[in-house]
Amino acid sequence: MGYRLTRRGLLSAGSLTAATSLAACASGTTQAAALAEATGAFPPGAPDPLFGPAPGVALLSRNENPYGPSASALAKLREAAEQGAYYVNPEATYTLMKLIAGRHGVEPEQIVITTGSGEALSALALMYGPKGPIVAPRLFWDTTAIYASKLGLASITRVPLTEDMEVDYAGIEAAITPETGMVQLCNPNNPTGLTTPGHIIRPAVARMAEKTTVVVDEAYIELTDDEAGITCLPLLHEGKDVIITRTFSKIYGMAGIRVGYTISSAETAEKIRSTAMSWTPCTSIAAAIGCVDDEAFIAYSKAKITEGRQMVEATLDTLGLPYLKSQANFVYFQSGQPANDLQKAMAAEQISIRGQYMDYAPWSRVSMGKLEDVERFCRALPRLISA
Ligand SMILES: Cc1ncc(COP(=O)(O)O)c(C=O)c1O
């Protein structure tokens, strides 16, 4: 189809504005949650390393995957770092677009590479927010919608979850009006970890997309039991007004390297490309090229995360504590203590977990970090909840 990317198109209208603050990257929701994050996520007294967790700190609050980056990513990254004097060649970006498109059975021009999926989601909030409210579940990864709303360019209509903490798709559909800017969904959802199966989410999204643009944030989908059965990708093949966002931060373990992407129609992709704010570094593009098809690493990464999740679930089962059945790299559970209290008690043991989301005080979230760190959490929990 004669698609050509120009250097100008790829290096479009970028500002160096960081789309998400560190606290926000940790899946922030409200200011109170950000405060809880600041006070508990980085335990007091620990030395401040430049990168990664301080020695002795079990970092289980930010849904990172410590098993990455893969050797395949690092090899390419080093190669690119040697050429760090130069702006990214469009050929490198296009190579990554082609590789990603090949994985998803779409055309390269349907892919937009961004500096983490957070940038893509921020760009989408800025594109669609000014038209009208972003309709979303009450709990979702709302950092980017909040970013646009802080700029006065969006508002959020939050639709309550069901009693089981599931996304209420009928409720969201009913909340759509002619003024709606876009619908934003997250599958699996964060912080609940709950995953909606394809036979439920696809028809719901298809109906919503008749009325407005639907963004489906699939940041954690590669970690689920049935990625192909759950993804909303088939709706793109049907020409629906759907935009999917994905990331290299989770399954590929590259949160600090910053690569994400959108999958949409080519027409929509062109609009997103001109709205995205930053220029993804050559090292990031290179790392993604290195690992995108590294099936052995993907399987390894998923196995480690699943093992951690099973350890946490076994602990919660033994303690009789309620939790949501997650398919992602975190578990949302009730300890019997307010989330911020448990966060502080864990922080005193140099274990970093998430504090409270919105008014969900009884719910805590723990991420699947290194297995030895998950084990520390599992050993500390019984002691701390009976203290
Ligand atoms: C659901 C969800 N989407 C998107 C992001 C943004 O991730 P990134 O910008 O690293 O791709 C996160 C970060 O934790 C997330 O939880």
For the chain, domains (ranges, CATH) are 28-69+295-386 (3.90.1150.10), 71-291 (3.40.640.10)
Q: Are 62 and 37 in contact (CB under 8 A)?
A: no
Render pLDDT for 59-69 as a digit per residue (tens, 0 to 9). 999 999 999 99
Our answer on whether the CB atom of 195 is closer than 6 Å to any ligand 1 atom is no
Q: Give residue 42's pLDDT band: very low, low, confident or very high (50, 70, 90).
A: low
Average predicted confidence (pLDDT) for the chain: 90
DSSP state of 330: E
Centre of ligand 1 from the C-alpha of residue 32, in Å: 20
- Closest among 134, 194, 142, 132 to 168, alpha carbons compared: 194
Nearest atom of ligand 1 to the alpha carbon of 260: 11
Our answer on whether the CB atom of 141 is closer than 6 Å to any ligand 1 atom is yes
Centre of ligand 1 from the C-alpha of residue 36, in Å: 19
3-class secondary structure, 119:
helix
297-301, 306-310, 373-377, 383-387: lowest mean pLDDT where?
383-387
| Strand pairing category for 182-186 and 134-137 | parallel
Our answer on whether the CB atom of 189 is closer than 6 Å to any ligand 1 atom is no
pTM for this entry: 0.91
Beta bridge partners of 214: 183, 242
Instruction: Look at residue 207 and tell me whether its pLDDT is greater than 90.
Output: yes
Vertex 233 angle, CA 307 and 19, to 5°: 75
Centre of ligand 1 from the C-alpha of residue 253, in Å: 12
pLDDT for 143:
95
Q: Are 352 and 66 in contact (CB under 8 A)?
A: no
Render pLDDT for 331-387 as a digit per residue (tens, 0 to 9). 999 999 999 999 999 999 999 999 999 999 999 999 999 999 999 999 999 999 987
Q: Which amino acid is at 326?
A: S
| Strand pairing category for 363-367 and 330-334 | antiparallel
Our answer on whether the CB atom of 27 is closer than 6 Å to any ligand 1 atom is yes
